[in-house]
Amino acid sequence: MTSTVRDTPLRGVHERLGATMTDFAGWLMPLRYEGETAEHQAVRNSAALFDLSHMGEIAVTGPGAGAALDYAVVGWPSKLAVGGARYTMLCAPDGGILDDLIIYRQADERFLVVANAANTAVVLAELVDRCSADAVVTDETLDTGLISIQGPDAVGRLAALTDVPVDGMRYYSGAYGSVAGRPAWVARTGYTGEDGFEIFCANEDCEPIWDALAVDGLPAAGLAARDTLRLEAGMPLYGNELGPDLTPYEAGLGRVVRLDKPGDFVGRAALAARSAAGPQRVLIGLEVQSRRVPRHGYPVVAGPTPAEATQVGVVTSGGPSPSLGQPIAMAYVTPDAGDGPFYIDVRGRAEAASVTALPFYNRKKA
Amino acid sequence: MSVPAELRYTAEHEWVSIAGETATIGITDFAATSLGDVVYVSLPAVGATVGADDPCGEVESYKSVSELYCPVDGEVTEVNEELNDDPALINAEPYGLGWMFRVRLAPGAAEATGLLTAAEYEELITSAG
């Protein structure tokens, strides 16, 4: 059984740090190190390191790469300048979301598509299927490590170790360079709601880069902290807020669908129709007044009192929020659910929840 | 993993310290480490009658929620109010400041419960791990 679970190139580092490991999408990943709260707060207040080597990296190269991706995904990758990055989605012909992606244009004829670990195989198969003959699709996942440094101190810590001019780098862009003397693609992206960088490198360069960054008490953070950080930042997670039965419009991310781009793309007709008709569900943020934690799958009910409330939706992600001090949740509700009052059925007891604009947390501007 | 010899344990990873008619209850170091940071604990009300095998509270961590049991029959006499403001005490000192509640034992309760010794509990968590 365990033989099917992959190790990242940083397995030894996690063991040294005493991480609690978990099987995540077929990878043995660090869930937490010292504790979730400290890891979360480190990212909010200083910085922390993440091993994200489980993420899928798929290269699309060749003279037709841009046009092929314009057909394959809902965004407009061919419009990216070299060094640019964009959040986008891969949808099915019916408009359902197959994965959310970041696409980097690393060279005129080379794009790097970063997929969720659980969806890498699907994204790879779809890209191979959707890309024309003058674009080459290559799965580089198993040869690529990914280290993320996130937090307000990330830029200063990374600047000391790289020849990439990270200080002036725009958010959502990237560049080739070296980190700790090792070749890497360095991008100002992340999934925490904080400033930060993602460093793509060869497997064998992961540990030297990690060790060079992990000095002066810089802590590591695991998947549990990553989840509360992205939840506070109102960022969707595939399998929770995103899935094949949802379109980008339900997730409030209709802006990623470039109906204005020329030519056909997979899902265009269905997505145009959904854009015109309006979403079937609405993603909202809820702040819970009790300290009992709402979790994925809990019913959301609405009515003048808990006794009179009827179900209007379901929690997609929920958890404690170290920044707000109260549990928070994202939930899909019906478009006519109104303004509440809302309650979340937390294991049989209705807990009052107030609607909060997403994101729950906005980073402090430097 | 700390398993103090003077305490008694349950298969639900709670510890019990019995002094005279009073039992003090908390969760073990193993439980706290497995759960990760505890963010909230709901404890039984003072005066409540609690008994072995009846859930009487909840322990919430980042990734999970688990029920709290009272491994002995009796009446709750005191709860650790400090945990309201600082549930992390459970992770920091599971056998000390992280204690959860105290129970006045019902007559005969101390003998009637099949609590585990430290050695037995250590064996349980070793085989679980």
Please determine, for residue A94, whether its predicted confidence score (pLDDT) is greater than 90.
yes
Q: How far apart are CA A182 and CA A202, in angstroms?
A: 9
> Does residue A3 register a pLDDT over 60?
no
C-beta atoms of A35 and B91 within 8 A:
yes
In this complex, the residue of A37, A291, A347 whose CB is nearest that of residue B37 is A37
- Report residue B129's pLDDT band, with 50, 70 and 90 as the boundaries: low
Q: Where are the domains of chain A?
A: 2-52+142-232, 281-366
pLDDT of B53? 72
In whole numbers, what is the pLDDT of chain B averaged over residues? 93
| C-alpha distances out from residue B84 to A28, A294, B79, B102, Å | 34, 18, 10, 16
Give the domain CATH number at B33: 2.40.50.100
Is there a domain that residue B127 lies in?
A: no
Total domains present in chain B: 1
User: Residue A1: pLDDT above 50?
Assistant: no
Taking an 8 Å cut-off on Cβ atoms, the answer to whether B60 and A35 are in contact is no
Q: Looking at the predicted structure, is the pLDDT value of residue B114 above 90?
A: no
How far is residue A191 from each of residues A112, A160, A223, A295, B26, measured CA to CA in Å? 17, 23, 11, 20, 36
pLDDT(A366) > 70: no
In chain B, positions 2-31, which contact chain A (CB-CB < 8 Å)? Answer: none
pLDDT at B112: 58
Q: Which of residues 246-265 of A touch B (CB under 8 A)?
A: none
A210 and A147 Cβ atoms separated by less than 8 Å: yes
CA-nearest residue to A35 within chain B is B37
Answer whether A2-52+142-232 and A281-366 agree in fold. Answer: no
* Tokens, residue B25: 């209850």
| Mean of pLDDT over chain A | 96
Provide the pLDDT confidence category of residue A208 given band limits of 50, 70 and 90: very high
Residue B55 in any domain: the answer is: yes
Domain membership of residue B125 (yes or no) is no
Per-residue pLDDT of A349-360, as tens digits, reads: 999 999 999 999
Superfamily of domain A2-52+142-232 in the CATH hierarchy:
Probable tRNA modification gtpase trme; domain 1 (3.30.1360.120)
- Please state, in angstroms and as integers, the Cα–Cα distance from residue A236 to each residue in A25, A320, A366, following that order: 17, 16, 25
Tell me, what DSSP letter sits at residue A295?
-
Contact indicator for A221, A151 with CB cutoff of 8 Å: no
**Domain hosting residue B82, numbered range:** 9-118
Q: Which residue has the tokens 């480490």?
A: B33
Sign of CA dihedral B10, B15, B17, B22: negative
Q: Do A37 and B58 touch (CB under 8 A)?
A: no
Question: What is the Cα–Cα distance from A208 to A93, expressed in whole angstroms?
Answer: 43
What class does CATH assign to A281-366? Answer: mainly beta
Residue B91 in contact with partner chain A when CB distance is under 8 A: yes
The residue type at A308: E
At residue A11, what are phi and psi to the nearest 5 degrees? -50, -45
Residue A132 has pLDDT above 90, yes or no: no
Give A135-147 pLDDT, tens digit per residue. 999 999 999 999 9
Residue B44 placed within a domain = yes
Bond before A299 cis per omega within 30 degrees: no
Yes or no, beta carbons of A224 and B39 under 8 Å apart: no
CA distance B119 to chain A (A): 25
Q: Is B63 on the interface with A (CB under 8 A)?
A: yes
Q: Are strands A196-202 and A6-7 parallel, antiparallel or unpaired?
A: unpaired
| Nearest partner of A199 among A174, A219, A216, A172, judged by Cα | A174
Q: Tell me the pLDDT tens digit for each residue of A249-286.
A: 999 999 999 999 999 999 999 999 999 998 889 999 99
pLDDT of res. A170: 97
Q: What is the pLDDT of residue A339?
A: 81
Interaxial angle between packed helices A120-130 and A65-72, expressed in degrees from 0 to 180 and rounded to the nearest 10: 120
Residue B124 lies in a domain: no
Burial (CB count <10 Å: 0-12, 13-18, 19+), residue A193: buried
Residue A329, min C-alpha distance to chain B (Å): 13
ipTM of the complex, rounded to two decimals:
0.92
H or E stretch covering A209: helix A203-213
What confidence score (pLDDT) does residue B18 get?
Answer: 92
User: What percent of chain A clears pLDDT 70, i.e. is strictly above it?
Assistant: 99
pLDDT tens for B39-49 read 999 999 999 99
Contact B76, B45 (CB under 8 A): yes
Is residue B103 situated within a structural domain? yes
Average pLDDT value for residue range A223-247: 98
Given the DSSP bridges, would you call strands B8-9 and A349-356 parallel, antiparallel or unpaired?
unpaired
DSSP code per residue over A236-254: --BTTTB-TT--TTTTT-G
Chain A residues whose beta carbon lies within 8 Å of the beta carbon of residue B63: 31, 224
Locate A255 and state its tokens.
Answer: 């802006």
B21 to chain A, closest Cα gap in Å: 32
Query: Which residues touch A41 (CB under 8 Å, ≥6 apart)?
Result: A322
For residue B65, give the nearest of A37, A227, A293 by CB distance.
Answer: A293
Single-letter amino acid code for the residue at A329:
A
pLDDT band at B109 (very low <50, low <70, confident <90, very high): confident
Chain A residue whose CA is closest to B64: A295
Per residue in A151-189, pLDDT (tens digit) is 999 999 999 999 999 999 999 999 999 999 999 999 999
